[in-house]
Amino acid sequence: MPNEVHIINHPLVQHKLTLMRRATTSTAKFRSLLREISMLLAYEITRDLPLKLETIETPMATMQAPVLAPEKKLVVVSIMRAGQGILDGILELIPSARVGHIGLYRDPQTLNVIEYYFKVPDDLEERDVLIVDPMIATGNTAIAAVHQLKQAAPHSIRFLCLLAAPEGVERFHSEHPDVPLYTAAVDEKLDSHGYILPGLGDAGDRLFGTK
Ligand code: URA
Protein backbone atom coordinates (compact mmCIF):
# COMPACT_ATOMS: atom_id res chain seq x y z
CA MET A 1 0.00 0.00 0.00
CA PRO A 2 1.56 3.33 -0.97
CA ASN A 3 1.86 6.44 1.22
CA GLU A 4 1.30 4.72 4.51
CA VAL A 5 2.08 6.45 7.78
CA HIS A 6 1.22 4.43 10.83
CA ILE A 7 1.01 6.27 14.14
CA ILE A 8 1.65 3.86 16.98
CA ASN A 9 -0.49 5.43 19.66
CA HIS A 10 -0.39 2.70 22.28
CA PRO A 11 -0.74 4.41 25.71
CA LEU A 12 2.58 3.01 26.96
CA VAL A 13 4.37 4.34 23.87
CA GLN A 14 2.77 7.78 24.24
CA HIS A 15 3.57 7.96 27.95
CA LYS A 16 7.20 7.00 27.48
CA LEU A 17 7.54 9.43 24.59
CA THR A 18 6.35 12.26 26.84
CA LEU A 19 8.99 11.32 29.43
CA MET A 20 11.62 11.37 26.69
CA ARG A 21 10.53 14.80 25.47
CA ARG A 22 11.00 16.42 28.89
CA ALA A 23 14.14 18.55 28.93
CA THR A 24 14.83 17.41 32.51
CA THR A 25 15.07 13.72 31.58
CA SER A 26 18.63 12.49 32.18
CA THR A 27 20.76 10.70 29.60
CA ALA A 28 20.50 7.43 31.53
CA LYS A 29 16.73 7.67 31.69
CA PHE A 30 16.44 8.76 28.05
CA ARG A 31 18.50 5.74 27.00
CA SER A 32 16.44 3.25 28.96
CA LEU A 33 13.18 4.82 27.75
CA LEU A 34 14.33 4.60 24.13
CA ARG A 35 15.15 0.93 24.65
CA GLU A 36 11.76 0.25 26.21
CA ILE A 37 9.78 2.23 23.66
CA SER A 38 11.65 0.52 20.82
CA MET A 39 10.55 -2.86 22.11
CA LEU A 40 6.95 -1.68 22.16
CA LEU A 41 7.23 -0.23 18.66
CA ALA A 42 8.87 -3.42 17.41
CA TYR A 43 6.09 -5.47 18.99
CA GLU A 44 3.52 -3.44 17.05
CA ILE A 45 5.23 -3.57 13.69
CA THR A 46 6.19 -7.23 13.68
CA ARG A 47 2.60 -8.47 13.79
CA ASP A 48 2.86 -9.78 10.24
CA LEU A 49 6.20 -11.62 10.52
CA PRO A 50 5.82 -15.03 8.84
CA LEU A 51 5.44 -18.08 11.06
CA LYS A 52 5.87 -21.77 10.34
CA LEU A 53 4.81 -24.80 12.31
CA GLU A 54 7.36 -26.96 14.11
CA THR A 55 6.80 -30.25 15.90
CA ILE A 56 7.68 -29.90 19.60
CA GLU A 57 7.24 -31.93 22.75
CA THR A 58 5.58 -30.24 25.70
CA PRO A 59 5.72 -32.09 29.05
CA MET A 60 2.23 -33.34 28.16
CA ALA A 61 2.11 -34.04 24.43
CA THR A 62 3.50 -33.60 20.94
CA MET A 63 2.19 -30.57 19.09
CA GLN A 64 2.63 -28.44 16.00
CA ALA A 65 3.65 -25.05 17.38
CA PRO A 66 4.33 -21.75 15.56
CA VAL A 67 7.86 -20.34 15.36
CA LEU A 68 9.26 -17.46 13.34
CA ALA A 69 10.11 -18.62 9.82
CA PRO A 70 13.92 -18.82 10.08
CA GLU A 71 14.73 -18.55 6.41
CA LYS A 72 13.55 -14.96 6.27
CA LYS A 73 15.30 -13.37 9.21
CA LEU A 74 14.46 -9.73 9.57
CA VAL A 75 17.25 -7.23 8.90
CA VAL A 76 17.27 -4.16 11.10
CA VAL A 77 19.28 -1.33 9.59
CA SER A 78 20.32 1.36 12.03
CA ILE A 79 21.08 4.86 10.82
CA MET A 80 24.08 5.90 12.90
CA ARG A 81 24.33 7.11 15.41
CA ALA A 82 20.95 7.63 17.08
CA GLY A 83 19.45 4.58 15.36
CA GLN A 84 21.56 2.49 17.74
CA GLY A 85 19.15 3.28 20.58
CA ILE A 86 16.21 1.80 18.69
CA LEU A 87 18.30 -1.10 17.39
CA ASP A 88 19.29 -2.13 20.94
CA GLY A 89 15.64 -2.35 22.01
CA ILE A 90 14.59 -4.32 18.94
CA LEU A 91 17.44 -6.81 19.36
CA GLU A 92 16.27 -7.58 22.88
CA LEU A 93 12.94 -8.61 21.40
CA ILE A 94 14.25 -10.26 18.21
CA PRO A 95 17.79 -11.43 19.06
CA SER A 96 18.13 -13.40 15.82
CA ALA A 97 17.57 -10.37 13.59
CA ARG A 98 20.39 -9.52 11.21
CA VAL A 99 21.83 -6.03 11.49
CA GLY A 100 23.02 -3.42 9.04
CA HIS A 101 24.46 0.05 9.62
CA ILE A 102 24.31 3.18 7.54
CA GLY A 103 26.42 6.15 8.55
CA LEU A 104 24.77 9.39 7.48
CA TYR A 105 24.97 12.84 8.94
CA ARG A 106 23.41 16.17 8.16
CA ASP A 107 25.72 19.00 7.21
CA PRO A 108 24.55 21.61 9.75
CA GLN A 109 24.84 24.45 7.21
CA THR A 110 23.27 22.93 4.09
CA LEU A 111 21.23 20.18 5.85
CA ASN A 112 22.43 17.92 2.99
CA VAL A 113 23.07 14.27 3.81
CA ILE A 114 26.63 12.91 3.74
CA GLU A 115 27.20 9.13 3.74
CA TYR A 116 30.27 7.85 5.59
CA TYR A 117 29.47 4.17 6.24
CA PHE A 118 27.39 1.40 4.65
CA LYS A 119 27.41 -2.24 5.75
CA VAL A 120 24.43 -4.56 5.41
CA PRO A 121 24.04 -8.36 5.09
CA ASP A 122 24.80 -9.72 1.60
CA ASP A 123 21.60 -11.57 0.85
CA LEU A 124 18.96 -8.87 1.15
CA GLU A 125 16.83 -10.05 -1.81
CA GLU A 126 15.06 -12.60 0.37
CA ARG A 127 14.79 -10.45 3.44
CA ASP A 128 12.52 -7.86 4.98
CA VAL A 129 14.34 -4.73 6.06
CA LEU A 130 13.38 -2.40 8.86
CA ILE A 131 15.32 0.89 8.85
CA VAL A 132 15.44 2.65 12.21
CA ASP A 133 16.24 6.22 13.18
CA PRO A 134 14.54 8.07 16.06
CA MET A 135 13.79 11.25 14.09
CA ILE A 136 12.49 12.11 10.63
CA ALA A 137 13.02 15.86 10.48
CA THR A 138 13.63 17.20 6.95
CA GLY A 139 13.40 13.61 5.74
CA ASN A 140 16.75 13.90 3.90
CA THR A 141 18.49 11.21 5.95
CA ALA A 142 15.59 8.77 5.75
CA ILE A 143 15.23 9.35 2.00
CA ALA A 144 18.96 8.77 1.42
CA ALA A 145 18.98 5.63 3.59
CA VAL A 146 16.04 4.08 1.72
CA HIS A 147 17.63 5.02 -1.59
CA GLN A 148 20.85 3.19 -0.62
CA LEU A 149 18.97 0.15 0.66
CA LYS A 150 16.90 -0.10 -2.51
CA GLN A 151 20.14 -0.73 -4.47
CA ALA A 152 20.34 -4.08 -2.63
CA ALA A 153 16.75 -4.92 -3.70
CA PRO A 154 15.42 -6.35 -0.41
CA HIS A 155 12.12 -8.23 -0.32
CA SER A 156 10.53 -5.30 1.54
CA ILE A 157 11.52 -2.09 3.32
CA ARG A 158 9.80 -0.36 6.22
CA PHE A 159 10.95 2.67 8.16
CA LEU A 160 10.56 3.07 11.91
CA CYS A 161 11.12 6.29 13.81
CA LEU A 162 9.99 7.72 17.09
CA LEU A 163 9.08 11.23 16.01
CA ALA A 164 8.52 12.86 12.64
CA ALA A 165 7.92 16.36 11.31
CA PRO A 166 5.07 16.79 8.79
CA GLU A 167 7.53 18.28 6.28
CA GLY A 168 9.74 15.19 6.51
CA VAL A 169 6.83 12.77 6.22
CA GLU A 170 5.61 14.55 3.09
CA ARG A 171 9.04 14.54 1.47
CA PHE A 172 9.66 10.93 2.42
CA HIS A 173 6.37 9.86 0.87
CA SER A 174 6.95 11.80 -2.31
CA GLU A 175 10.39 10.16 -2.76
CA HIS A 176 9.48 6.68 -1.53
CA PRO A 177 5.70 6.22 -1.79
CA ASP A 178 6.18 2.44 -1.60
CA VAL A 179 7.81 2.46 1.86
CA PRO A 180 5.50 2.40 4.89
CA LEU A 181 6.50 4.69 7.73
CA TYR A 182 5.89 3.90 11.40
CA THR A 183 6.18 6.54 14.10
CA ALA A 184 4.91 7.27 17.60
CA ALA A 185 3.99 10.87 16.69
CA VAL A 186 4.03 13.48 13.94
CA ASP A 187 4.84 16.83 15.56
CA GLU A 188 3.99 20.39 14.58
CA LYS A 189 6.82 21.61 12.35
CA LEU A 190 10.56 22.10 11.82
CA ASP A 191 12.50 25.08 13.14
CA SER A 192 14.93 27.04 10.95
CA HIS A 193 17.78 24.63 11.90
CA GLY A 194 15.83 21.55 10.87
CA TYR A 195 14.91 20.51 14.42
CA ILE A 196 11.48 19.13 15.21
CA LEU A 197 9.11 21.32 17.27
CA PRO A 198 8.13 20.61 20.00
CA GLY A 199 10.25 17.48 19.48
CA LEU A 200 12.73 16.21 22.03
CA GLY A 201 15.93 17.95 20.96
CA ASP A 202 18.87 16.16 19.38
CA ALA A 203 18.19 12.44 19.83
CA GLY A 204 21.87 11.47 19.41
CA ASP A 205 23.07 13.99 21.96
CA ARG A 206 20.39 13.01 24.43
CA LEU A 207 21.10 9.29 23.95
CA PHE A 208 24.87 9.54 24.26
CA GLY A 209 25.16 12.61 26.52
CA THR A 210 27.29 14.50 24.03
CA LYS A 211 25.88 17.90 24.89
N1 URA B 1 17.44 15.13 14.60
C2 URA B 1 17.24 15.15 15.93
O3 URA B 1 17.91 14.41 16.65
N4 URA B 1 16.31 15.99 16.44
C5 URA B 1 15.55 16.79 15.67
O6 URA B 1 14.70 17.50 16.19
C7 URA B 1 15.78 16.76 14.27
C8 URA B 1 16.72 15.92 13.77
Ligand 1: which of 107, 193, 202, 205 to mutate, judged by most atoms within 8 Å of the beta carbon? Answer: 202
Among candidate residues 75, 152, 137, 127, the one with its CA nearest the CA of residue 104 = 137
Task: Give 87-139 pLDDT, tens digit per residue.
Answer: 999 999 999 899 999 998 778 788 788 899 999 998 899 899 999 999 999 99
Q: How far is the CA of 157 from the centre of ligand 1 (A)?
A: 22
Ligand 1: which of 81, 195, 208 to mutate, judged by most atoms within 8 Å of the beta carbon? Answer: 195
Task: Give 146-185 pLDDT, tens digit per residue.
Answer: 999 999 999 999 999 999 999 999 999 999 999 999 999 9
pLDDT of residue 1: 44
Q: How far is the CA of 165 from the centre of ligand 1 (A)?
A: 9
- Across residues 19-37, what is the average pLDDT? 97
Q: Are 189 and 148 in contact (CB under 8 A)?
A: no
Confidence of residue 39 (pLDDT cuts 50, 70, 90): very high
- Across residues 22-26, what is the average pLDDT? 97
Q: What is the CATH number of the domain that holds 65?
A: 3.40.50.2020
21, 133, 139 from 127: Cα distances, Å? 34, 19, 24
- Whole-model pTM: value is 0.92
Confidence of residue 3 (pLDDT cuts 50, 70, 90): low
| Mean pLDDT of the chain, nearest integer | 93
| Range in 3-12, 58-67, 154-163 the model is least confident about | 3-12
Which segments within 8-97 are labelled E, that is strand? 51-57, 62-68, 75-80
Q: 39 is in which domain, residue-wise?
A: 5-208
pLDDT of residue 113: 83
Confidence of residue 9 (pLDDT cuts 50, 70, 90): very high
Q: Which residues lie below 8 Å from residue 136, measured CB to CB, with a gap of 6+? A: 142, 159, 161, 163, 164, 165, 168, 169, 172, 181, 183
Proportion of the chain above pLDDT 70, given as a percent: 97
- Across residues 24-46, what is the average pLDDT? 96
- Across residues 82-87, what is the average pLDDT? 94
- Asked if residue 2 has pLDDT above 90, the reply is no
Q: Which amino acid is at 13?
A: V
**Domains of the chain: total:** 1
| Range in 44-48, 60-64, 84-88, 199-203 the model is least confident about | 44-48
Atom of ligand 1 nearest to the CA of 203: 3
pLDDT of residue 109: 82
Pick the residue with more confidence: 113 or 70? 113
CA atoms within 13 A on the CB side of 62: 2
